Amino acid sequence: ENKKSLNFIEQIVENDLKEGKNDGRVQTRFPPEPNGYLHIGHAKAVCIDFGIAERYGGICNLRFDDTNPVKEDVEYVDSIMEDIQWLGFQWKNVFYASDYFQQLWDFAVQLIREGKAYIDEQSAEEIARQKGTPTVPGTPSPYRERPVQESLDLFQKMNSGDVPEGKMVLRAKIDMASSNMHFRDPILYRVLHIPHHRTGTAWKAYPMYDFAHGQSDYFEGVTHSICTLEFVVHRPLYDWFIDQLATDDYRPHQYEFNRLNMTYTMMSKRKLLQLVQEKLVSGWDDPRMPTLCGLRRRGYTPQSIRNFVDSIGYTKYDGMIDVSLLEFAVREDLNKKAVRVSGVIDPVKLILTNYPEGQTEEMEAINNPEDESMGSRRVKFSRELWIERDDFMEDAPRKYFRLTPGNEVRLKNAYIVKCAGCKKDENGNVTEVYAEYDPQTRSGMPEANRKVKGTIHWVSAPHALDAEVRLYDRLFIVEDPAGEKEKDFRELLNPDSLIVKKNCKVEEYLAGAAPLDSFQFQRIGYFNVDTDSTGKKLVFNRTVALKDSWKK
């Protein structure tokens, strides 16, 4: 095994195991809120949560953090499971925070009985106003000292349906002067008259995130509760609740790592949902989206995403990752796996004037020079070929090594040809390019190894398949769209993030390609078969160009 140095979370776990903590048990959880599709940032969390369990012989459960019925949906639950499995991970159990509503309720009742929680009838604004600042203590609520029985009765009422939303909340009674703002009597429950995707209308009072998360970890037996850095300040409260609840020595512990922020990308689920709802993208799986289903449709492999996450690592300080690292990862993975094919995006016809009409030859093409075991295939060659329009120039500069009158180039896997000129329409557009082939230059022939400076790709015209090719680029034009606070993020969308090419020509071999299969279109980039593709109408997505051509 490639012994890379351990990240700080792995070090913590190894230390705990060495010290015999938790009876040698390692248990993690991945806790998505089912209010959107997973994105590349979530993949980073998935990889550490599941990865730690795998590496140390523990278990990782999938827990849907579904305490807020407002934005949650079964559609999201299903997609989250699909995406985790696609990344190659498997949970031990599926849990729902909503399964603990009764236990959490009972715990809240216990806190009220112990004088550690009370019902506050002030508005959210009033409560916020009394919070104070980190240096100025907060103001106690006028309801803070109300009798326990009154709070118990009102808490029941909060869940009866008779209390309108916003009319009252349950708050912990901790310390209105604490230097940690989260200790200033945090809200534990609020009223929501919204049916829940699993518990229906059974509950009207719903627990807040802070009151659900740590306790859920405790109920399940989590040992290492891994989350992102913004929860550092919540950790003391996480520990406080569990200390109130625990009847034994077992404690789950929270550890925080830096969330993934990536250039030219936005990861807020709220904004991604907005892109979908306003049809600024074709859906959650639009190949420009940073969602895992979007990346999958774009041609990203699970391995490339896992390699990317590995390469950026886990630290305790926030930063911005260059999206070109993700692009590098998929290029590197597909380089090893993708068959090299010919695809002509912007075709113009090349006619070999000295090649017999009606003749067809078969040329051998190596499927992947990086992997001999992938073998080779036969590719048809004939008098009329499709080539890229920009592989011909009538008046070329000195260093142009492709087709220009008098110049020789090699047709990949076939002959060397010498350009003779072209035909143009009345507007001056080139309609046909002419060349003569040298029969001695095919592989195996005496002149096969003659050196010419340029090699271009081609597709035999009578054998070519028509295809639509979707050229995708970055969705945003600025490096940090989330950082442009004064601009509407919709104004930062890249107008050229999708260019559709409808008249492309690809080689016959691709007739058998299935949706999501990946290929390298030689000299151009990596492409995969889109889910819209059919036997009658082939559609390809550009996953990534061969080289990083993004202009800084």
Residue 31's binding partner out of Mg ion, ligand ATP, none, with CB under 5 to 8 Å set by partner kind = ligand ATP
Which residues, at least 6 apart from 172, have a Cβ–Cβ distance to it below 8 Å?
A: 111, 116, 117, 185, 186, 188
CB of 205 or CB of 227, closer to Mg ion: 227
Enumerate residues 5-44 that contact ligand ATP by CB under 6 A.
31-33, 41-42, 44
- Residue 143: strand pairing partners: none
129 catalytic residue (yes or no): no
Question: Is residue 260 a contact point for ligand ATP (CB under 6 A)?
Answer: yes
Cβ-count burial 204-221 (b if 16+ within 10 Å, e if not): bbbbbebbbbbbbbbbbe
CB of 82 or CB of 508, closer to ligand ATP: 82
Of these residues, 29, 173, 235, 269, which one is catalytic? 269
Question: Is residue 73 a contact point for Mg ion (CB under 5 A)?
Answer: no
Question: Is residue 346 a contact point for Mg ion (CB under 5 A)?
Answer: no
Pairwise CA distance, residues 114 & 465, whole Å: 75
Q: Which position among 7, 268, 282, 354 is part of the footprint of ligand ATP (CB under 6 A)?
A: 268
113 catalytic residue (yes or no): no
Rg from Cα positions in the chain: 31
Residue 235's binding partner out of Mg ion, ligand ATP, none, with CB under 5 to 8 Å set by partner kind = none
Cβ–Cβ under 8 Å, residues 147 and 119: no
Minimum Å distance from CB 316 to ligand ATP? 13
Number of residues this chain uses to bind Mg ion (CB under 5 A): 1
Site string for Mg ion, 28-57 (x = CB under 5 A): -----x------------------------
Pairwise CA distance, residues 469 & 465, whole Å: 12
DSSP 354-380: TSPTT-EEEEEEES-TT-GGG-EEEEE
Q: Which position among 184, 213, 269, 410 is part of the footprint of ligand ATP (CB under 6 A)?
A: 269
Residue for token digits 């907005």?
274
Helices (H), 192-256: 209-220, 235-245
Q: Which position among 130, 228, 324, 376 is part of the footprint of ligand ATP (CB under 6 A)?
A: 228
Residue for token digits 């061969």?
546
Q: Which region among 25-33, 157-165, 169-177, 539-547 touches Mg ion (by CB under 5 A)? A: 25-33
Residue in the shown chain whose Cβ atom is closest to ligand ATP: 41
Of these residues, 259, 380, 389, 412, which one is catalytic? 259
Pairwise CA distance, residues 312 & 307, whole Å: 9
Q: Which region among 267-275, 331-339, 343-351, 519-527 touches ligand ATP (by CB under 6 A)? A: 267-275
Phi, psi of 320 (to 5 degrees): -125, 130
Minimum Å distance from CB 33 to Mg ion? 5
CB atoms within 10 A of CB 134: 9
Minimum Å distance from CB 261 to ligand ATP? 7
Minimum Å distance from CB 239 to Mg ion? 19
Residue 260's binding partner out of ligand ATP, Mg ion, none, with CB under 5 to 8 Å set by partner kind = ligand ATP
Pairwise CA distance, residues 284 & 291, whole Å: 7
Number of residues this chain uses to bind ligand ATP (CB under 6 A): 15
- 3-class DSSP assignment, residue 539: strand
CB of 157 or CB of 271, closer to ligand ATP: 271
∠ Cα 41 521 475 (to 5°): 35
Report how many helices (DSSP H) and strands (DSSP E) the chain contains, helices first.
Answer: 12, 25
Site string for ligand ATP, 45-84 (x = CB under 6 A): x-------------------x-------------------
Pairwise CA distance, residues 161 & 21, whole Å: 45
Residue 286's binding partner out of Mg ion, ligand ATP, none, with CB under 5 to 8 Å set by partner kind = none
Of these residues, 10, 33, 361, 432, which one is catalytic? 33
- Residue 386: strand pairing partners: 349, 459
269 catalytic residue (yes or no): yes
Pairwise CA distance, residues 503 & 510, whole Å: 16
Pairwise CA distance, residues 295 & 259, whole Å: 19
Site string for ligand ATP, 198-227 (x = CB under 6 A): -----------------------------x
Residue in the shown chain whose Cβ atom is closest to Mg ion: 33
Cβ–Cβ under 8 Å, residues 483 and 461: no
Minimum Å distance from CB 481 to Mg ion? 19
Quick one: which of 29, 128, 30 has its CA closest to 80? 30
CB of 227 or CB of 524, closer to ligand ATP: 227
Question: In the chain, how long is the greatest CA-to-CA distance?
Answer: 102
Which residues, at least 6 apart from 372, have a Cβ–Cβ distance to it below 8 Å?
A: none
Site string for ligand ATP, 130-169 (x = CB under 6 A): ----------------------------------------
Minimum Å distance from CB 22 to ligand ATP? 20
CB of 210 or CB of 391, closer to Mg ion: 210
Cβ-count burial 431-452 (b if 16+ within 10 Å, e if not): eebbbbbbeebbeeeeeeeeee
Minimum Å distance from CB 213 to ligand ATP? 9
Minimum Å distance from CB 270 to Mg ion? 8
Instruction: Give the pair of three-digit tokens for residue 324.
Output: 């070109």
Cβ–Cβ under 8 Å, residues 319 and 481: no
Pairwise CA distance, residues 548 & 322, whole Å: 12
Q: Which position among 47, 112, 267, 379 is part of the footprint of ligand ATP (CB under 6 A)?
A: 267
By the criterion CB under 6 A, which residues form the site for ligand ATP? 31-33, 41-42, 44-45, 65, 227-228, 259-260, 267-269
By the criterion CB under 5 A, which residues form the site for Mg ion? 33
Active site amino acids: 33, 259, 269
